Amino acid sequence: MYVIKCSDSYLMGAAVNHTWQTATSADLAKRFEAKSDAEAFLTKYELAEVGKIVKL
């Protein structure tokens, strides 16, 4: 699963099938960390920079 930081949201998807969906930082934190601490999630995976691609 990959996550890309956009200007006001995030795209998440698998590179294999090229299916991407938008998500908020809270959505990502709930999905990958099983909690709603979005700020800690973004810091942990360094997702503050626009255009940054992270493999989770």
* 2-45 tens-digit pLDDT: 888 888 888 888 876 678 889 888 888 887 776 667 778 778 88
Band the pLDDT of 54: cuts 50, 70, 90: confident
Tens digit of each residue's pLDDT (9 = 90 or more) over 10-19: 888 887 667 8
- pLDDT score of 55: 84
What range defines the domain where residue 13 resides? Answer: 2-55
CA neighbours closer than 13 Å in the CB half-sphere of residue 29:
16
- pLDDT score of 16: 67
CB atoms within 10 A of CB 11: 14
Rg (C-alpha) for the chain, rounded Å, is 10
CB atoms within 10 A of CB 23: 18
What are the φ and ψ backbone dihedral angles of 42, each rounded to 5 degrees? -65, -40
Number of domains in the chain: 1
